[in-house]
Structure 1
């Protein structure tokens, strides 16, 4: 029996993997029915979607006596960025430059500093020294969006630079990210899911697994793999250790995801309301 995943987290997973591809709007009744497959009751779903609305991730609108929910622009931006990273099968190429962000946010705005820190970690930045964050990836646009979002331009300096020493790039990476620990977690993912992949591949070929089970398995697979977004900075190949297994984990995820795709999608479509939902206008 699958362990019940946090309701809010599973709603994010369903938006990213399904709902955003079907017009980005879903009737609350359909959402409740889908989440029932994972062991969530109606009360927990309504409470979670209400919190997400207050946090600015989703917005609602009524049509008759039915409530429909869609991602806000903020929610869509986060889902788009997450999707690019989740379905990235190979490490990105490197242009040889480092991006450096330094902030001096005053103590009375500490809450902004804490929120910005979490956003930087999620985007793949590593902490080089106190209030100094770096990444080899071209995150100029995302960084500008973050600065605008938190209105901290007067406290932030951002550079695109080259590393001139005194050590090599590997030493710099080691100081900012614990790649050994991340690599170990990828190894655990491969060990846990490689056997299930082979078993389910044969079951699907023989028609021995239900569409509902495929839907649950694919959603839980995405949910589990999505956790790497919070720890893996998606470093370029040139900066990764020799025995890096992240790319192998990505390939396993893609293959497993693909064999579950058709039956899982059929189940989703059987529950998802395909009527004429309202056009929800983005809040300003």
Structure 2
């Protein structure tokens, strides 16, 4: 069993919970169930209710009643699209192919510089690197998710998206090291390995899989993992340093998912 730390914010855990189980529920998740499931990962009732309210104000959760008349929350259309996009990133742990690039070229008027800040933040959160001022780059497979994100945030009037090849004078492997902070990305993978490789080893040494314990460990591992594929663009191996830790961290997460997810679903009871 692992300890809940500050890195597991209640709002993040709610999004992770819906991504793992809630989006497959046949109807709204009752508030009482949300509180129970969050309590299992160390979130008290006031924090859970406050975080649900914030997600409601952001338009990610919508109040609705279950078939039995209980008050609950379901995902908005935007939130469902966000989680489906994110799920593809989270669960695609195989080595990516060399597929070309997508460029996001943007220009935001000075009078709307707050939108410029949001745009940069969201592109970085999608795994884009900076090729030049106002020019961001990512593997081509991320273009659809980038399009969804920009449309959801009403930022598409400021951005043009292009697909193409790198034909510059600097070798691509050198350019990639300039476009992304690979050391920081690697550090994130190492931190995940430091925490969860031992957890996986502990589970592999067991023959039982208690549902509540499996749910708790899986949700916390998923909450930690889901940030990594959203900042790591998933570059081809030939463009990465040798012994890239992302390969090992993806293998650890995949093994935890296979070991714990279904047993955790029995405790969640909402799918």
Identify which of 102, 114, 118 aligns with 1:115.
118
Aligned to 2:55: 52
For structure 1, which runs of at least 5 residues remain unmatched after alignment? 275-284
* Cα RMSD for the two superposed structures: 2.2
Q: Could you tell me which residue of structure 2 aligns to residue 233 of structure 1?
A: 233
Say if 1:230 and 1:140 are closer, same or farther in 2 by CA, change over 3 A.
closer
Alignment of 1:206-221 (within 5 A): 207=208, 210-221=210-221
| Residue number in structure 2 paired with 1:77 | 81
Determine the structure 2 residue equivalent to 1:3.
Answer: 4
3-state secondary structure, aligned to 1:111 = helix
**1:38 is matched with which residue?**
41
1:197-240 Cα deviation digits (max 9, x unpaired): 1222222x0x3x63211110111111111121342112233422
Q: Say whether 1:245 aligns with 2:245.
A: yes
Q: Residue 257 of structure 2 corresponds to which residue in structure 1? A: 257
CA contact (8 A) 2:139 2:234 kept: no
CA 1:52–1:153: 2 relative to 1, 3 Å: closer
What is the CA deviation profile of residues 111-140 of structure 1, one whole-angstrom value per residue up to 9, with x for unaligned ones? 221222122112221111211111122333
Instruction: Give the TM-score of the pair, scaled to structure 1.
Output: 0.85
Shift of 1:15: 0.3
Structure 2: segments with no counterpart, 5+ residues: none
1:189 aligns with 2:192: yes
In the alignment, is the contact (CA less than 8 A) between 1:116 and 1:146 conserved in 2?
no
In structure 2, the CA distance between the partners of 1:182 and 1:143, relative to structure 1 (3 Å rule), is closer
Change (3 A) 1:183 1:24: farther
Q: Quick one: distance in 2 between partners of 1:47 and 1:24?
A: 22
User: Could you tell me which of 174, 197, 208 is aligned with 2:177?
Assistant: 174
Q: Please tell me whether the aligned partners of residues 62 and 75 of structure 2 are also in contact (alpha carbons under 8 angstroms).
A: yes
Question: Within 5 A, what are the aligned runs for 1:12-161?
Answer: 12-23=15-26, 25-62=28-65, 66-95=70-99, 97-161=100-164
Check 1:230–1:84 CA distance in 2 against 1; reply closer, same or farther (3 A cut). closer
CA–CA distance in structure 2, aligned partners of residues 62 and 194 of structure 1 = 40
Q: Match of 1:229, SS?
A: coil
User: What's the offset of the Cα at 1:86?
Assistant: 1.0
For the Cα contact (< 8 Å) 1:94–1:236, is it kept in 2? yes
Aligned residues: 267
SS of the residue corresponding to residue 165 of structure 1 reads coil
TM-score, scaled to structure 2: 0.89
C-alpha contact 1:124 1:135 (8 A) present in aligned 2:
yes
- Partner SS state of residue 108, structure 2: coil
